[in-house]
A and B are shown apart, each in its own frame.
Chain A
Amino acid sequence: MSQPSSDHAQDHTDVPSDPALRVKALESLLVEKGLVDPDALDVLVDTYENRVGPRNGAQVVARAWVDPAYKQRLLDDGTEAMAEFGYSGGQGEKLTVVENTSSVHNVIVCTLCSCYPWPVLGLPPTWYKSAAFRSRTVIDPRGVLSELGLELPKDIEVRVWDSNAASRYFVLPERPDGTDSMSEAGLAALVTRDAMIGVAKVASPTAGGVS
């Protein structure tokens, strides 16, 4: 698939034949020109590698499961309720939280690019950005979910949320059975990134997984 790197000087398509080297070269150029402060760059890398990610979203989900008043605030105004944890939409977008129930299943996608709630889920996985997921989820959500291992009964209503520049979406998964006695932290540990995208359910901690 990938082409062997040929004559760089002839290559004006900007397709990096060796992306790592090209990005390094670009970084050095921008630093040398004073356009980028290397310390600021390190802070940003650390942010995206360590400070954002699905553990943030999982905390929010667990709180909503144990605190009905918080859950109501979250569903009424996701932006405000996430701010209670110090999370924002990422670039000023509104955050809308949609709730999965026994009768409604929500799944998020971005058909035009790959909009995603970075602060609470981190950066999206490769499959979320794939042409196949972006194109097919709106026209055949049940087929896509089934391919990803989630079979939904016919009587479940499926809602697809096509994320746009002004709004980012986040799925509040259903609390699994067998978790009544669990602590908030224990619950947060059960919540997966894929359940907050809406392509999976949160598995019950009891043997047998998804109930």
Chain B
Amino acid sequence: MNGIHDMGGMQGLGEIGYKESAPGFNEPWEVRLFALVQAMRTGGLRTYIESIPAPDYLRMGYYERWYTALITKIIERGIVTRAEVDSGRPDTASVNASPALTPEIARDLLFRSTKTEQDVELRAQFHIGESVRGRNINPATHTRMPRYTRGKTGVVERDRGVFNLPDNEETSAEHKPQHVYLIRYAGRELWGEEAPPNDSVYIDMWEDYLEPA
């Protein structure tokens, strides 16, 4: 989606606000919310975060976006109702979802490697050293292809293996496993002759995002 979240290469978005040794959490509620999201095991929130209207997205802090996205998703999934969220009290008529995450599983949740790489043998369409171009696609739903790569030519640096296309994971029940490649884009290819000659951007791209150059 050509949303505000796809901001690579934009200018004028304010201050970075850099602070050395800035903490990961600024307020106690942020870590509680973060833990709540993990405890709910509702899967990714990216689609929901990306659907927040641009003016709200820019005004909200990072964890406020997570809060909004979590609520939108669990209401949509029927796990809670809007009335319950508004009142803060359970409605006896609303259904419960799967059993809650136990402390035993929670303990190793982050350190347990649930591999996302797919054990599927698929022919790779592109090879290391080959030039590839970002396809000119404008999906209205979730994608991991930033718009700054569209129409731009880069070189395949590595074949990462086979992963499910994220675009499909969010919109359909069908998985679309395919090779993911690490692509190197020269800064000048992306940003023009003003860019320093020896700078570059590296990014992983799913096969569907690319075409032969």
Interface residues of A (CB under 8 A from B): 8-9, 13-16, 19-20, 22-30, 32-37, 39-45, 47-49, 51-53, 79, 83, 86-94, 96, 111-114, 118-119, 122-127, 129-136, 138-139, 141-142, 144, 147-149, 154-155, 157-162, 164-167, 192-194, 199-200
Taking a contact as CB atoms under 8 Å apart, the answer to whether A92 and B115 are in contact is yes
Taking a contact as CB atoms under 8 Å apart, the answer to whether B32 and A47 are in contact is no
For the complex, give the distance between the alpha carbons of A47 and B101 in Å: 15
For residue B28, which residue of chain A has the nearest CB? A20
Known A15-B64, A162-B146; contact A167-B103, beta-carbon cutoff 8 A: no
Known A125-B19, A127-B17; contact A164-B105, beta-carbon cutoff 8 A: no
For the complex, give the distance between the alpha carbons of A124 and B39 in Å: 20
- For chain B, the count of residues having a C-beta within 8 Å of the partner chain is 95
Taking a contact as CB atoms under 8 Å apart, the answer to whether B200 and A160 are in contact is yes
| Chain A residues with CB below 8 A from B70, complex form | 26
| Chain A residues with CB below 8 A from B137, complex form | none
Q: How far is the CB of B47 from chain A (nearest CB, A)?
A: 11
Taking a contact as CB atoms under 8 Å apart, the answer to whether B29 and A24 are in contact is yes
Q: How far is the CB of B207 from chain A (nearest CB, A)?
A: 12
Interface residues of B (CB under 8 A from A): 5-11, 13-29, 31-36, 38-40, 46, 49, 56, 58-64, 67-68, 70-72, 79-80, 84-86, 88-90, 94, 96-97, 99-103, 105-107, 109-117, 144, 146, 148, 160, 163, 166, 180, 182, 187, 190-191, 196, 198-204
Taking a contact as CB atoms under 8 Å apart, the answer to whether B13 and A131 are in contact is yes
